[in-house]
Amino acid sequence: SLHTQFMDCVDKTRTATFKVQDNALGSRIVSRTVQCFQDERLAMQTVCSFIAQKAQDFQAQFQHQTPMPEIEQPGAGNSAFMLDPQGYPNEFPVKIWVTELDSDLVTPAPAKQRIWLESPDKRTHSEQFQQCILALFTDVHFTRVIVRPFGIRMAPPPRHLRKIVSIDHHIWFHQSVDPRRPILVDTECKQLGAGRGVVQSEMYAHDRRLVATVVQEGRVEIDPHVRLPSPKL
């Protein structure tokens, strides 16, 4: 699992220093804290937990998961998903299939979203590297779900939206996954208030396995002089 708090902004053109500290070295669980500093300011800290020893085989019979939604994968005959021509900022290496383009977001709708993500890199990687790719995928388009009921577009940002950024990011990895195959991200914003919104996502592999659960908190700043439409929930 991965539990991250973002404390401050950083300048990506300048050097940042990362410090790693061991928290616990148990027989089955290893925990470490990673901190990021810039100009001696703490900008981010992450607690990572790793399973050093897998559970015994007989435990495999005791398992269940939330079923994957009954929706078609991208490219299927009846699929409602289309490849997002806008992609993701800064040439982020991911294919994104959506049911709504950015221009559709001006119409208020429930704070829910389903997208498919796929890595364009078809090389074979280790399981740990695949988890790193999955962790990057968790940050794709999650913030726009928070303000979806108000019909606010995320790119380009409207004048009445000052800021929307991730401040807490938690990931629980359940099973291995191949990001070269489509991954469904089923997302819902459970709450928005006092300038903060909480989003929960379930991530499913192409073979319907639940591979990760994600909870994120975003900070939202709306211009106080703008009257937004009534939310559609």
Using alpha carbons only, give the angle 31, 197, 208 rounded to the nearest 5 degrees.
Answer: 65
- Is 65 inside a domain boundary? no
What's the pLDDT at 68? 93
Q: Please indicate, yes or no, whether residues 18 and 110 belong to a single structural domain of this protein.
A: no
Count of the separate structural domains present in the chain: 2
Ramachandran class of 164: left when φ > 0, alpha when ψ lies in -120 to 50, beta otherwise: beta
User: What is the reported pLDDT for 44?
Assistant: 94
Closest CA to 69 of 171, 215, 207, 208: 208
Distance CA 86, CA 137 (A): 16
E strand or H helix that includes residue 135: helix 127-137
Let me know whether 171 and 213 are in one domain: yes
- Edge-to-edge strand ranges of the sheet holding 210-222: 17-25, 29-38, 41-51, 2-6, 161-173, 210-222, 196-204, 183-193, 112-118, 95-98, 82-83
pLDDT confidence of 225, banded at 50, 70, 90?
low
- Smallest CA-to-CA distance from 185 within 21, 103, 68 is with 68
User: What CATH number corresponds to the domain at position 18?
Assistant: 3.10.129.10
Inter-residue contact 214 to 162 (CB < 8 Å): no
64 located within any domain? no
**In this predicted model, what pLDDT tens digit does every residue of 121-149 receive, in sequence order?**
888 888 889 999 999 899 888 888 998 89
Range of the domain at 204: 73-223
The CA distance from 216 to 229, in Å, is 25
Q: How far apart are CA 147 and CA 200, in angstroms?
A: 14
Mean pLDDT score of the chain = 85
**Cross-strand pairs, 34:** 20, 46
Q: pLDDT-derived band of residue 155, with 50, 70 and 90 as boundaries?
A: low
Domain check: are 37 and 78 in the same one? no
